[in-house]
Structure 1
Amino acid sequence: MTDVHVQTVLQFMEQHAPKRLAVEGDPIGLQIGSVKKRASKIMITLDVLEPVVDEAVANGVDMIIAHHPLLFRPLKQLNTDTSYGRAVEKLIKHDITVFAAHTNLDVAEGGVNDMMADALGIRDTAALAPVTEEKFKKMVVFVPHDHADAVRNALGQAGAGHIGDYSHCSFSTEGKGAFIPGSGANPYIGTKGRMERPEEERIETIFPASLERKVIRAMLDAHPYEEAAYDIYSLDNPGRTYGLGRIGKLDQSVTLREFTERVKEAFGVNGVRVVGDLDKTITKAAVLGGDGNKYTMHALRQGADVYVTGDLYFHVAHDAWMEGLTMIDPGHHVEQIMKQALAEQLSSWLRDQKSTTEVIVSEINTDPFQFM
């Protein structure tokens, strides 16, 4: 067992929160440091502030994974007399790699917005504000009978054939292939220079376009032929929609007053800002981590009774109030829910990789606000 390479951790993050899901222009990914080094200790944080960097140095951290990018805007200068400049200087001096997963982690399945929705008991969720739609492709591959099950299973394990709550979905028909092995061939079936017509199965399955390379590799690894015959087709079938925020229903209707208490308890905050009648019945709820002002009308159009988000503007709250949409603002900082959840997910994956790398959670409170 050894410490994992940073590059390998980045591969995990790409699987967990693909960069393609990020909002255009979001400065995600590697921010500071090297991907070639090994990391014996990784720290998960919401923000990369100077006290968080000091915490990382004190704990011998090699890599920080943050939700909010440290380098959010292009640098015009790096003044090490400022707290920001000192933070960057310390990171470089102590060879700490910084990686940011921002809106891609918001949008991703199992990401920040799913974490928040689960914490609030919002079920049967859909994306509140669509960002992208996953396109589907179809693979057709021809396999001898004795390897058909192995190929089907390999495709399913690679992510093909997943439709709703069903996995390993495929369709097969039987027929005969035809080929003549050349003089340099090493055929699994047949004899060089002679026409062969083996009994084969035609296996069809669909997969998300983003998994194409993985699915092809899995099929080729399981297929017995030197040269597997397969086709890839682009489909017009509507794929899964990914987006910011979540909207869904509660298991049981509650009043806005009761739901507000649920928000406070779920996110560990002492106070929230509330817009609307506290006695209003809440059945359908929307949530969006961070600053969700510009998505208020999405919540209203989709029939939400309440919208939970941070950094609400006065006039946005006015508009929602007049349209009958209740709102709860627990603050931007409640996105910290991602710290423990991501640490557990990464730790589990590292154990599967037989890695000795340790994952810790930052204990620094980076919320600039206090309720008095």
Structure 2
Amino acid sequence: MVRVEDVMAAMEQLAPAALAMPGDRIGLQIGRRDKPVRKVGLALDPSPPVIHHAIRAGVDLLITHHALFYHPLGQIDTGTSRGQALAAALAHDLAVFVAHTNLDIADGGVNDVLAELLGLQACEVLEPIHEEHLYKLVVYVPTSHHETVLAAVCAAGAGHIGRYSHCTFNVAGTGTFLPEEGARPYIGEAGRLERVEEVRLETIVPAGRLAAVTEAMLSAHPYEEVAYDVYPLRLPGRTYGLGRVGALSRPMSLSAFAEHVRQVLGLPHIRYAGDPDRSVRRVAVIGGSGSKWAATALRKGADVLVTADCDHHALADAWHDGLAMVDATHAALERPVLRSVAAALHRKLGGAVEVDVLAVPEDPVRWL
């Protein structure tokens, strides 16, 4: 049976908590970790309409992008719509889990989905936030289990260098050990020195996967006591951050690009700032409210920044500085990631859990 903690573990792989911005409110906000889960619902906001819809739909765990509790609560007034929704969630044992800036920053998260939808190529991070530490894992494996352990550690996240996976180094040698009284050796017997043909397997592991890789290694290794070493490395690791910058397959006018964004996001209208005939090729995107990264986008060589919630001064300043802006709605930029998260959870959890993006209108913006 799948429980809340199992879904949380799957979400940790998709959007590690360590990637979240300092002070962000993420993780389990209502509910218990051991609650059985048969249905997961996904939404942007744990709003009253979303919570009531989730309860009617039989959702056990609601995963949202924005927090239910961001600021400390001074009171819960059940005479308000928010208070009534919270009371209903508690009464129906609805668990609520939040993945916010960690989902913005993560591979395959909000900004990667946006970049893919817009057709951007050769993307890089707009605003670096984290550089992941790297470790070297060395383990000694009998030749009979060498391939098994190698496959296990790589499947758990070891061995990635750039665009290459399963990067390891392997040296054959002879291992010795003497099982003492009470030991239960896989090879040999107590009181006799054993010599075994082994392989020294070396690979690289990012800090965020070290625990999972070590667990996979120990599970696949046949020895009662596994000889292994972990060394911290002074090498630059993977850079994670907010937003993405990439290139269109071909240049287009700013007005044509704005129309492209409008159609991709399914909006009836869209705002943009800049010369309509200006040619754009290099594009920066940042989901949610990202106008304060306009100067960063300009430094990264972007012709245009796609974001949301731009006020007059942000648009005017960017325009005067030479950066075009396309201003979509907050919800339109972030909601596409929900389909990606749902697909990933389907793959990780299998058919034991139903995962749905809740069909509730979440964009507060209406157009005339």
Distance 1:224 1:33 in 2: 39
The secondary structure found in structure 1 opposite 2:313 is helix
Counterpart for residue 343 of structure 1: 342
Counterpart for residue 331 of structure 1: 329
Of 281-290 and 145-154, more deviation after overlay is shown by 145-154
* TM-score when normalising by structure 2: 0.96
**1:33 and 1:195, CA in 2 relative to 1: closer, same or farther beyond 3 A?**
closer
Q: CA deviation at 1:178?
A: 2.3
1:231 aligns with 2:226: no
Determine if contact 1:46/1:338 at 8 Å carries over to the other structure.
no
The secondary structure found in structure 2 opposite 1:43 is strand
Q: 1:70 aligns with which of 64, 68, 71?
A: 68
Q: CA deviation at 1:338?
A: 2.0
Q: CA deviation at 1:132?
A: 0.8
1:187 aligns with 2:210: no
Matched residue count? 367
- Residues 2-39 of structure 1: CA deviation (Å, up to 9, x unaligned): 5x211111111111111111111111111122222112
* TM-score when normalising by structure 1: 0.95
**Which residue identity does 2:128 align to in structure 1?**
P
The secondary structure found in structure 2 opposite 1:178 is strand
The secondary structure found in structure 1 opposite 2:41 is strand
Distance 1:42 1:148 in 2: 39
Q: CA deviation at 1:144?
A: 2.0
Q: CA deviation at 1:302?
A: 0.5
> What runs of 5+ residues in structure 1 fail to find an aligned partner?
none
Q: 1:7 aligns with which of 5, 8, 33?
A: 5
Counterpart for residue 58 of structure 1: 56
The secondary structure found in structure 2 opposite 1:139 is strand
**Which residue identity does 2:340 align to in structure 1?**
A
Q: CA deviation at 1:59?
A: 1.4
**1:200 and 1:39, CA in 2 relative to 1: closer, same or farther beyond 3 A?**
closer
Q: 1:80 aligns with which of 52, 72, 78?
A: 78
**Which residue identity does 2:357 align to in structure 1?**
V
Structure 2 counterparts to residues 253-272 of structure 1, below 5 A: 253-272=251-270
Q: CA deviation at 1:319?
A: 1.6
**Which residue identity does 1:366 align to in structure 2?**
E
1:42 aligns with 2:55: no
Q: CA deviation at 1:103?
A: 0.6
Counterpart for residue 240 of structure 2: 242
Q: CA deviation at 1:186?
A: 2.5
**1:276 and 1:92, CA in 2 relative to 1: closer, same or farther beyond 3 A?**
same
**Which residue identity does 2:327 align to in structure 1?**
D
**Which residue identity does 2:281 align to in structure 1?**
T
1:319 aligns with 2:317: yes
**Which residue identity does 1:137 align to in structure 2?**
Y
Distance 1:13 1:298 in 2: 30
**Which residue identity does 2:77 align to in structure 1?**
N
Distance 1:125 1:112 in 2: 14
The secondary structure found in structure 2 opposite 1:269 is coil
Q: CA deviation at 1:321?
A: 0.9
Q: CA deviation at 1:62?
A: 1.7
The secondary structure found in structure 2 opposite 1:198 is strand
Distance 1:192 1:59 in 2: 60
Counterpart for residue 107 of structure 1: 105
The secondary structure found in structure 2 opposite 1:36 is coil
Structure 2 counterparts to residues 14-29 of structure 1, below 5 A: 14-29=12-27
Counterpart for residue 367 of structure 2: 371
Distance 1:96 1:148 in 2: 45
Distance 1:144 1:37 in 2: 41
**1:368 and 1:220, CA in 2 relative to 1: closer, same or farther beyond 3 A?**
same
Moved over 3 A (4+): none
The secondary structure found in structure 2 opposite 1:177 is strand
Distance 2:146 2:349 in 1: 32
Q: 1:361 aligns with which of 357, 362, 367?
A: 357
Distance 1:94 1:220 in 2: 41
Q: CA deviation at 1:191?
A: 3.9
Structure 2 counterparts to residues 71-150 of structure 1, below 5 A: 71-150=69-148
Q: CA deviation at 1:82?
A: 1.6
**1:360 and 1:189, CA in 2 relative to 1: closer, same or farther beyond 3 A?**
closer
Distance 1:361 1:133 in 2: 32
**Which residue identity does 1:365 align to in structure 2?**
P
Q: CA deviation at 1:161?
A: 0.6
Determine if contact 1:299/1:307 at 8 Å carries over to the other structure.
yes
**1:58 and 1:224, CA in 2 relative to 1: closer, same or farther beyond 3 A?**
closer
**Which residue identity does 2:349 align to in structure 1?**
L
Counterpart for residue 251 of structure 1: 249
Determine if contact 1:122/1:249 at 8 Å carries over to the other structure.
yes
